[in-house]
C-alpha cells in the first residue's frame, strides 16, 4: 500500500471559479511584519516560493495582493516572481514538480508537515525550506492544530501522534497535529547545528484549527550541503 500525501491536497478554487488564497498566507500578509517583502526592493526582484503547493495558487495570488493598482495599505511596485513547487503534484499541476532554483524573499509551506508520515520527512522539508531563503528573509509554516486532529477521533496510528486519516486498497494518508510551542521547538531542533533561525511571534492567531509560525533566516546562517532533491529524498 502506497503512502500518498498528495491525496490531501484541497481544491483552492472559489465558488466563482477563481482561485482563492489559502487562509494562512492571507493571514500572514495581513498580520505579518511590514518588511515581509518590502526589503526585497534592495535585492531587485521579489521572489516567493510556495513549497508543497498542492492545488494552491498562493505564489501567483500574492502578486495580485501587492498590485500597486489595488487600494491596499501594503501595495508595492515590485518586480515579482511566484514559484509553486510540489514533489507530489496532482493531475493538472505536473509543472510544479520542477525543483526550484535560486533564493527567495518568502517561502510559505502550508499544510505539508502535518501530512508527512515520519519525523525524518518533516525535518527534510524544513531544511529544504530554509535552504531557499535569502538572509534575513522569512519562512512561514502552517499545519493542522493538535486540537483539530484530536477532534477527528482517528483510530489507526502509524506512530505515537500520527494517524491514518484515509485508507483505500491502494494508498493511505496521514495527519499529525501540532501546538504552536511544539512546532516552534521542532523547527528549532531540526535546524540546530545547521544554521541560525529566529522565531518571529505573531500578535494574532489564524484560527483554532490551524497552527502557524513564522521564522527568519539569521545573518549567521551557516551554508552547508543542499538538502537532497526529490529523486534522492525520503519524501
Indicate which CATH number applies to the domain containing 189.
3.40.50.150
Do 151 and 178 meet the contact criterion of CB atoms below 8 Å apart?
no
Q: In what order do the strands lie in the sheet with 210-217?
A: 80-85, 46-51, 104-110, 133-144, 210-217, 197-199
Do 99 and 30 meet the contact criterion of CB atoms below 8 Å apart?
no
Please state, as a whole number, how many other Cβ atoms lie within 10 Å of the Cβ of residue 186: 19
Give the predicted TM-score (pTM) of the model.
0.86
- Which parts of the chain have pLDDT scores under 50? 40-43, 67-72, 75, 223-227, 230-235
Separation CA 144–CA 110 (nearest Å) = 9
Do 46 and 74 meet the contact criterion of CB atoms below 8 Å apart?
no
Tell me, what's the pLDDT at 160? 87
Tell me, what's the pLDDT at 73? 52
Three cell numbers, residue 169: 486498497
**Has residue 27 been placed in a domain?**
yes
**Has residue 80 been placed in a domain?**
yes
**Has residue 151 been placed in a domain?**
no
**Has residue 4 been placed in a domain?**
no
**Has residue 192 been placed in a domain?**
yes
Q: Identify the burial level of 17 via C-beta atoms within 10 angstroms of its C-beta, where 0-12 means exposed, 13-18 middle and 19 or more buried.
A: exposed
Q: What total of structural domains would you count in the chain?
A: 1
Three cell numbers, residue 76: 508595492
**Has residue 208 been placed in a domain?**
yes
**Has residue 166 been placed in a domain?**
no
Tell me, what's the pLDDT at 235? 41
**Has residue 91 been placed in a domain?**
yes
> How remote is the C-alpha of 119 from its chain's centroid?
16
Domain that holds residue 84: 11-144+178-220
Do 163 and 176 meet the contact criterion of CB atoms below 8 Å apart?
yes
Give the N- to C-terminal CA distance of the chain in Å, as an integer: 16
Please state, as a whole number, how many other Cβ atoms lie within 10 Å of the Cβ of residue 159: 11
Amino acid at each position: 500500500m502506497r503512502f500518498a500525501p498528495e491525496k490531501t491536497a484541497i481544491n483552492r478554487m472559489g465558488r466563482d471559479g477563481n482561485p482563492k488564497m489559502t487562509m494562512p498566507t492571507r493571514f500572514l500578509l495581513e498580520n505579518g511584519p511590514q518588511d515581509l517583502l518590502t526589503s526585497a526592493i534592495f535585492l531587485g526582484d521579489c521572489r516567493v516560493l510556495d513549497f508543497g503547493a498542492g492545488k494552491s495558487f498562493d505564489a501567483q495570488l500574492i502578486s495580485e495582493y501587492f498590485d500597486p493598482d489595488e487600494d491596499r495599505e501594503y501595495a508595492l511596485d515590485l518586480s515579482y516572481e511566484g514559484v509553486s513547487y510540489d514533489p507530489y503534484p496532482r493531475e493538472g499541476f505536473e509543472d510544479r514538480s520542477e525543483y526550484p532554483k535560486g533564493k527567495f524573499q518568502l517561502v510559505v509551506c502550508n499544510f505539508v508537515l502535518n501530512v508527512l508520515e515520519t519525523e525524518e520527512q518533516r525535518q527534510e522539508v524544513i531544511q529544504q525550506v530554509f535552504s531557499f531563503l535569502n538572509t534575513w528573509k522569512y519562512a512561514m509554516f502552517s499545519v493542522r492544530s493538535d486540537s483539530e486532529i484530536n477532534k477527528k477521533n482517528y483510530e489507526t496510528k502509524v506512530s505515537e501522534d500520527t494517524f491514518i486519516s484515509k485508507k483505500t486498497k491502494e494508498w493511505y494518508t496521514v495527519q499529525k497535529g501540532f501546538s504552536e510551542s511544539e512546532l516552534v521547538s521542532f523547527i528549532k531542533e531540526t535546524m540546530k547545528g545547521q544554521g541560525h533561525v529566529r522565531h518571529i511571534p505573531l500578535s494574532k492567531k489564524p484560527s483554532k484549527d490551524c497552527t502557524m509560525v513564522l521564522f527568519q533566516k539569521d545573518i549567521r546562517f551557516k551554508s552547508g550541503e543542499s538538502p537532497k532533491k526529490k529523486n534522492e529524498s525520503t519524501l
